[in-house]
Amino acid sequence: MKKRFKIPKSIIRIAVLVIVSVICIAAMDWAFFYPQARTDDLILEVGKHYKDRLDGLGVEWDPMLLASYNTANPTLAPEDCVTEEDFEKVCAMAEEIGIDKIRCFWSESWIEPVNDNDDPHVTNYDAFVWDQENILTLFKQLDFCQKEGIKVNLTTWGGSPFPITEHEEYAECMCVMLEKVIEKGYTCVVEMTPFNEPCWAYKVDGVVDMEDHWQSCRVLDSMLKERGLRKKIKLNLSDNNYSLDSMRTMEELGRLAEIYNTHSYDYISPYSDTAMTEFSQLLTRYAHKNGAIHLVNEFGPNTVINAMTSSDTDTYKRGLLISRVAVNFLNGGTAGLLYWCLTDQYYGVGSRMSVGLYQFKDKGWEARPQLYAYSLLTKYTQAGAKIYPIILDEAHLCAIALKNPDRSWTYAVINSDTVDMDVSFANPHLRSGKMDRYVYCEETLPTDSHPIRSDAVLKINNGLLSDTVRSQCMNVYHLRSNDEETKNG
C-alpha cells in the first residue's frame, strides 16, 4: 500500500493565516497603506513603470524660418519678416519649454536638385548642394539641438528629382544626407523616417501604393547596410495618419525598424480618456511584437480645416485636449509624442502654418493657450524618464507619474469633467518631499508667453500627495530636485 503524505496541521494553520492576511490587506488596499488619505479622494496609484523609457515629448519644427518666404515675404510688412535675431528668439523659446526632441522635414531635391548620375551605388558627391536656404536653416537648427541635447528625427517629404519608384536613388539620397550629418558631427540626429504620411501621399500613378512604399523602406535598410551606415541611425517607420495603415506597416516590415510611429489627429473633446489609452495600447502591442517601441511622430486635435489651420487653434480647450492625448498615449505604452508644431511660419509665400504653440512674428511670437498647457509636460519631463502609467476607468480624468533621469518626479492629472475632483497620488516609491504645483486653468492663464509658474508647494505625506483638480484644468506637480528630502525618494 502506498504511503500518503500528510501535511502537518500547524503548517495548514499558518498557510490559512497568511492567505487570510493577504486578502484582508488587499481589501483594505490603499487605506491600509495610506491611512491619512482623504476618504472621498480618487486614488491615483503609482505602481510599476513600463520597460520603455520616455523617448521624449517634443514638437515638429521644420527648417523654414530663414528661407526667403519668411525673411523676405512680399505679403508681409518688412518689419514682420524673420531675421537671424528672430531665429535666436525661437531657439530660446524652444529651450525654455524644455523639449526633448524635434521632428524636422527635408526634401531630397534640396540637396540633389538633379540626379547625381544614373548609378545609385556610385555617388557623384559634386552633384549635391549644401547651400540651399532650407538646408542652411536645417543646419542652424541642428547646431541648436546639438548644443541643447535635443534629439532630432529627419523625415523626408518627397519632392525628389527622380520618380518615387526609384527606390535605390531615393535611398542613395538619404544615405548622402546621413553621411553629411555624421561628417558635421550632429549626433543629435538619431532617427530617419522615409516619407511623411505615405497612407495618402505615397502615390504611384496617382494611387496610394503601400506595397511600393514598404519595398522602398526595405531598399533603404539594405543600402544603409551596404554603405556601413545602418548602425549609425535608427529607422522610425510608418508615419501613417491612418492607424490601420500603421498596423499593416508594422506587420509587413516586422523587425526592420527600431521604432514604429503613428500620427494622431483622431480626437476631439468628447473622446474619453480610456478610448485614447486603449488605442495607444493597441498600437504599442503591434510595435512590441516586432521588438520596436511606439511613438507618435505628429499629433494635434481632430479640428483640422486644412494642412495649415484648425478651427480651435486659439482656444483654451485645445491645450487641455492635446495634454490629454499626450498623457493617455503615454499611459497606453507609447514612449513619446511630437506636437505639430512649434511656431507659426511660412512654408511658401502664401502658405502660413497657423497651428503653432507660438504665433508668428507679426503677432510678437505670442504663445497660444496650448503652449501654456503642453509646456508643463515638456518642461517637467525628461527623455529617459521611467513612465509609471496610472490606468483609470474614468472617461474624463487621466493622470500619470514619471521619474526623470535626474531623480526628480513629475505627476500630471487632467480633469476634463464638469465637476472638481479631489485626488491623491499614492506613490510607494516617493514617501516624502515637496512638490511644486503648476496649474493650467482658464481663469489664471498667463499672457506673458512664458511657461506657467508654480502657484503652491505641496508636501508629500507618507507617499500621498493630495489636492483638488478643478473642472477643465490640468495640475502638474514636480518634485523639487534641490530638496534634500527628495534624495530619499
Question: Which residues are near Ca ion by CB under 5 A?
Answer: 115-117, 119, 123, 169, 172
Considering the complex, state which of residue 85 and residue 126 has its C-beta at the smaller distance from Ca ion.
Answer: 126
Give me the residue whose beta carbon is nearest to Ca ion: 116
Cα separation, 479 vs 417, in Å, equals 26
DSSP conformation letters of 278-332: HHHHHHHHHHHHTT-EEEEEEE--S-BSSSS-BTTTT-HHHHHHHHHHHHHHHHT
Considering the complex, state which of residue 43 and residue 111 has its C-beta at the smaller distance from Ca ion.
Answer: 111
Considering the complex, state which of residue 169 and residue 221 has its C-beta at the smaller distance from Ca ion.
Answer: 169
Considering the complex, state which of residue 12 and residue 114 has its C-beta at the smaller distance from Ca ion.
Answer: 114
Considering the complex, state which of residue 37 and residue 173 has its C-beta at the smaller distance from Ca ion.
Answer: 173
| CB of 206 vs Ca ion, minimal distance in Å | 24
Q: How many CB atoms lie under 10 A from the CB of residue 158?
A: 18
Angstrom distances, CA of residue 77 to CA of 230, 350, 460: 46, 14, 53
| CB of 201 vs Ca ion, minimal distance in Å | 21
Residue among 151, 1, 98, 135 nearest 374 (CA): 98
Cα separation, 48 vs 407, in Å, equals 16
The answer to whether 297 and 241 are in contact (CB under 8 A) is no
Considering the complex, state which of residue 127 and residue 208 has its C-beta at the smaller distance from Ca ion.
Answer: 127
| CB of 236 vs Ca ion, minimal distance in Å | 23
| CB of 164 vs Ca ion, minimal distance in Å | 14
179, three cell numbers: 553621411
Return the half-sphere exposure (C-beta side, CA atoms, 13 A cut-off) of residue 191. 27
| CB of 223 vs Ca ion, minimal distance in Å | 11
Residue 6 DSSP class: -
Considering the complex, state which of residue 113 and residue 364 has its C-beta at the smaller distance from Ca ion.
Answer: 113
Cα separation, 258 vs 241, in Å, equals 19
The answer to whether 400 and 393 are in contact (CB under 8 A) is no
Cα separation, 238 vs 210, in Å, equals 10
160, three cell numbers: 525628389
| CB of 229 vs Ca ion, minimal distance in Å | 15
Considering the complex, state which of residue 115 and residue 472 has its C-beta at the smaller distance from Ca ion.
Answer: 115
**Which residues are paired to 454 by β-bridges?**
none
| CB of 227 vs Ca ion, minimal distance in Å | 12
| CB of 185 vs Ca ion, minimal distance in Å | 25
| CB of 154 vs Ca ion, minimal distance in Å | 18
Considering the complex, state which of residue 126 and residue 131 has its C-beta at the smaller distance from Ca ion.
Answer: 126
Residue 461 DSSP class: B
